[in-house]
Chains A and B, each alone.
Chain A
Amino acid sequence: MDFESLPMFGSPFEHVETYVYYDGPKTFAMRSPRWDIYYFVNAVDEDESDHSTTFLAVGVDRHRFEAIRSGLVKFRDAYVQASRGALYSIVWRYDADDQEYVDVRWVNPSALTDSSWLPAEGVGLDLHTPTAPEFDRNEVAQIASAQGRTAFAVKLDTGNARITQFPQKQQGQVEIAISGVFEALVREIAPPGASARDMYTVSLGTRASSFVILLGVESPNALVEPVEVSAAVFEQLENLLRLAGEDDKSGLIEALGEHKHKARNRFKDILEPLAETRSGIALTTSVAYSEELRTINLAPTAVRTTLNAIKNVARESESISVHRGVLIGKNVRLERFEIFDASSRRSYYGYMTDAARDQAAEIPVNENSLVRAEIRREWAFAGRDEPTGARFTLTWVESLGEVARDADLPTLDEASDIARE
């Protein structure tokens, strides 16, 4: 049986790989070296009376080949949905003198429906099929060296998908969170006014497999990348990932506590889409001019346990004393308040305690009526940034009485506008 020189479009062929072998290849792929044509060849029947064995061969292009190979397209559909003129039956037969004959014919795919020549419903080859260039971690160091910038790669797990893909929503969330944690750490490390504070991350490409996002650092206002900052950023990020990989998360929580909210929040934002897609993460970094290459891995289970540990940290709180404020809104029934602090020129809104509700009920909403108040501000250890991430509760309020309004006090409308800014 010589399949490679059969009279089908694209002949002669070369063997690609065997999927099912049984006393010889039964399901395999071959391709034309000259054209973008692959054939899936499958043993479908035999007739012991005339000593014949029948194969079906379907011709596809490379993209279809990858889709079928990965299981994105079920193996049965490869044949049922064959393009016109791309489906062949190949019958090998032996005559009474043991002479071999082969009969190759076009087959109409519509004639195959419910045929015993088709693979079972729902069965796919389900093989890992990278459709992007294979990830080579040395490429990260090569980019860093050639472009004089820090390069890094973020490897995600594709879960059940065997082709190079990752849910777009979660990929976007991971990329935004990585950009956010990078910029938050830069602002923690670089002094105010330093050009290093303008650094941001850029997307350089996608690699397989599973799924790798290749990223770099851009320094728009510096002649050369301020590596003292970018190196420190990645050391800290790698340290957080390393601590996240430990069973005891107390080290991570302590380390996160040393960072400002934005860095904490963005670190948590990286983990959330990973947990949703049951992905782990591997960060491969080469800092500009360092010639070094480092990789930190965080397994999918560690992603989930880390996220839970962060969520379980008790909310933090502080008390804010407003010495000269304006009660610009209240709803006693719903126990909601809004106070403008004339000193800090910011407003607070949220719920009232029962005691504060009773006190506020007696105070008119009036731009000439000043108040003193105590407000409790609570925020998650890591969550959303202010103002949406913080929760304000009015715990005590007292009227200072009707006074002549200072020139620097806004009207109610102005205060509301400032609050909305």
Chain B
Amino acid sequence: MPLPSIQPFPPDCPPEDAQPVSGVFYRLVGKHLGVGDSTDESSWLRPYQTQGSQYYKTFDAVGAHGLSVFADLADTRRARGIAPWMAKKSVAEVTVTEAEGSMRPSPTAVSTSHHDWWTHPVDLQPSGIVIEAGMES
């Protein structure tokens, strides 16, 4: 069964408080990618395309279109220490420009640097490099 294809943003997406941002961010990617590898298509599946996400096939939710990224590597590592699912993922570094969409800080109780990223264009496949390998199961 093929995964859902890229969908257009629903109304009011990106949200008003999302802003163009530039800088270095960190994205978790499949553990089949090793240190030095470039990110691939699977690295940028939106939450509505991801079967392990509560947003799977939920096309009308703003959060379902936002990619999770961390602004701080230490924060990324802390989250990986808490959730083994994340520890098994590799970590890719991606440099974001303001032209590539909008971000909104969305910190959680223990991940203060978490951001949601609504890319521009909507089907953007950013270019990232893996800097840390995922833990073996």
Contacts and interface: CB of A to CB of B under 8 A. Distances in A.
A125 interface: yes
A46 B107 CA distance: 24
14 contacts: A19-B109, A19-B111, A23-B46, A23-B55, A24-B54, A26-B86, A27-B82, A43-B52, A46-B88, A48-B30, A98-B57, A116-B88, A118-B84, A120-B87
B81 A23 contact: no
Interface of B: 1, 28, 30, 46-47, 50-57, 63, 67-68, 78-88, 106, 108-111, 114, 135-137
A3 to B, nearest CB: 8
Contacts of B1: 94, 96-98
Interface in A1-48: 1, 17-27, 42-46, 48
B52 A21 contact: no
Nearest to B135: A116
Interface string A119-140: 1100101110000000000000
B78 A44 contact: no
A119 B67 contact: no
Given A44-B83, A116-B137, A123 B52 contact: no
A65 to B, nearest CB: 13
Nearest to B79: A20
Query: B1, B108, B137: which has the most chain A beta carbons within 10 Å?
Result: B108
Interface string A305-348: 00000000000000000000000000000000000000000000
A51 interface: yes
A117 B88 CA distance: 10
Contact of B106 (A21, A44, A97, A98): A21
- Classify chain A: how many residues form its interface, as a range: 35 or more
Interface string A70-110: 00000100000000000000001010111000000000000
A17 B110 CA distance: 11
Nearest to A75: B82
A267 B106 CA distance: 46
A53 interface: yes
A43 B109 contact: no
The 9 closest A-B pairs by CB, nearest first: A43-B85, A53-B52, A120-B81, A24-B53, A123-B81, A23-B47, A24-B54, A98-B1, A44-B84
Nearest to A117: B84
Contacts of B110: 19-20, 27, 125-127
A23 B44 CA distance: 11
A17 B81 contact: no
B47 A42 contact: no
A251 B80 CA distance: 52
Given A27-B83, A44-B85, A92 B52 contact: yes
Given A51-B51, A94-B51, A97-B1, A21 B111 contact: yes
A51 to B, nearest CB: 5
Nearest to A122: B81
Contacts of B85: 26, 42-46, 53-54
B2 to A, nearest CB: 9
A1 to B, nearest CB: 5
Contacts of A42: 82-85
Contacts of A25: 54
Contact of A119 (B28, B55, B82): B82
